[in-house]
Amino acid sequence: MPTRKQHLEHLRNVPLFAGLSKKELEKLARASDEVKMTAGSLVVDQGQTGREAFVLLDGTVTVKRNGRKVTTLGPGDVLGEMSLLDHGPRTATVVCDTDCTMLVLEQRHFIGVLDDLPGLGVKLLATMAGRIRDLDRKYYG
């Protein structure tokens, strides 16, 4: 089983967390749990309320929206981050293509990290805003 140090290295390579300090990444690593899922397992279901995000450490998953494949994600990718932030419904269904190992960050643990390190929230907001801008440029020019 990977150590917290290995989890820290995985988190460091996730674009969503790229702007975080070592201390902030360590807090996130301690707040997360490792889970293993077998091929064919449902990770999240579109429309269901979400309370956690997943960082894919090993394996691949397929993301479908309204029954149509959107993308395939692999190690280093994050899924469920919007529901982590707003407790809203899942915008897609995600199924494991292979056996997968993931770090799960539950909302209540994430809120605890934000309470301890308020600057982390500002960094994550800036990263999310950048992602929204990229999507805006992609679809609207």
Q: What is the pTM of this model?
A: 0.84
DSSP 57-81: EES-EEEEETTEEEEEE-TT-EESH
Q: Please, what are the domains in the chain?
A: 4-136 (2.60.120.10)
Of 77, 49, 81, 47, give the one whose Cα is nearest residue 64. Answer: 47
**Does residue 16 have a pLDDT over 80?**
no
Mean pLDDT value across residues 77-105 = 91
pLDDT value at 2 more than 70:
no
pLDDT value for 3: 66
Amino acid at position 18, single letter: A
Query: What is the per-residue pLDDT for 34?
Result: 93
Residue 8: predicted pLDDT: 80
